[in-house]
Structure 1
Amino acid sequence: MGKNQRKTKSIPNCRRRSLYVNFTQINYDKWIVAPEGFEAYECVGRCDFPLSDHLTPSKHSILQSIVHAIQPDKVGKVCCVPVRLAPISLLYFDEQGILTYKYHYDEMVVAECGCR
């Protein structure tokens, strides 16, 4: 490798990555009885032009990525974000202090990431 060549770490494309949430660590154990935690996942990675179909880009994000490629100083990059969320089951105390089991506690797990 020559003097002017630098090794660059390749940043992977937008994807889902593990993120375990422990309710005790965030003080949610005061109202959530079970589970103790869960795999929530997070979205990380690049959203470079051209956007692949598997990243489920919106029409707006496709246009934004094109404009960013032409004028990067004027328009921000498209971001890797959750595009589909899934529920978990929770045993918790509701606002009235009643122990409640909810089979589908919505929007808790990243099911799919995409570029938006």
Structure 2
Amino acid sequence: MPNDIHVSEVSNAELWFRKEQDLMDSHNQTFVVSEVAHWDRNKSFKKSTPVAIQETSLTEEWVRVDVTHVVKNWLDFYDSPVHAFSIVCKTCVKDELRSPVSSSPADNRPFLVIYTHIQQRRTMRHKRQRRSAVCGPDVNECCKESLYISFAEIGWSDWIIKPEGYNAYFCKGSCLSPSAITISGSQHHTILHKMMYGKNSNSGGGRPELTPCCAATQFQPLQLVYMDSNRTVTTKLLSNMIVETCGCM
């Protein structure tokens, strides 16, 4: 376990493993994930405690198991940097001979992903500072509209493990009214407001040609678990992937 993560920073943790396909299996498979504790004082046996039971389909490959409570316990009672899980499938025919969980090559080995909420706290502060109007049937002004991106539909599911997709959002709507102009995440909104509706306009009170448009003003990152060009499972936080706020620019 990394020693630079505090238990209070962990939002959730996931154990990922790849299930090998077996034509002899004729039904869904049930995996039992257990925490393998340290040797007892006499070192005569290892203690294991089941922490999750996961049922999978025959065609499923990568399996995700929530192990948040286990990882938090490891960090809260930091008595050893080494911990282990055991993965058993009693319903698998292959389990009688060898493990149905892939361990080679290296990119197929089980791995642990720990998510921290340091970034989430920063994002929550942004949310409290400014909220965009959400688009709806009666909303015509600048607002945020849902846009779900499916990695399978765009042909990326062969290398992106998680998530299967995400809501990227986009901005749309009118910026012609004074109320719409003030819904802006930019320092420009005050100037634009004066230019379009200022009493001392050089054009005699008419609107100038400059017209603001509804655009994204703040973004959130997206965390990906993917297979890189070397067939290595990698976790990366990609910036500016999700529209957080919209404004008239």
Structure-1-length-normalised TM-score: 0.70
Q: Corresponding residue for 2:246?
A: 113
Q: Does 1:26 align with 2:154?
A: yes
What percent identity do the matched residue pairs reach? 31
Equivalent residues in 2 for 1:59-78 (5 A)? Answer: 59=188, 62=192, 66=196, 70-72=207-209, 75=210, 77-78=211-212
CA apart distance, 1:95: 3.6
> Whose relative contact order is higher, 1 or 2, with alpha carbons under 8 Å and at least 6 apart?
1
Equivalent pairs counted in the alignment come to 102
Which residue matches 1:55? Answer: 184
Decide whether the 8 Å contact of 1:14 with 1:115 is kept in 2: yes
Matched, 1:89 2:89: no
SS of equivalent to 2:183: helix
Whole-Å Cα distance in 2 between the matches of residues 12 and 58 of structure 1? 23
Letter matched to residue 181 of structure 2: S
Separation of aligned partners in 1, 2:182 and 2:208: 23
Q: TM-score, normalized by length of structure 2?
A: 0.36
Which runs of no fewer than 5 residues in structure 2 stay unpaired?
1-137
What do you get for the CA RMSD once the two structures are aligned?
Answer: 2.7
The alpha-carbon deviation at position 35 of structure 1 amounts to 0.8
Alpha-carbon distance, 1:44 to partner: 1.0
Rg comparison, structure with higher value: 2
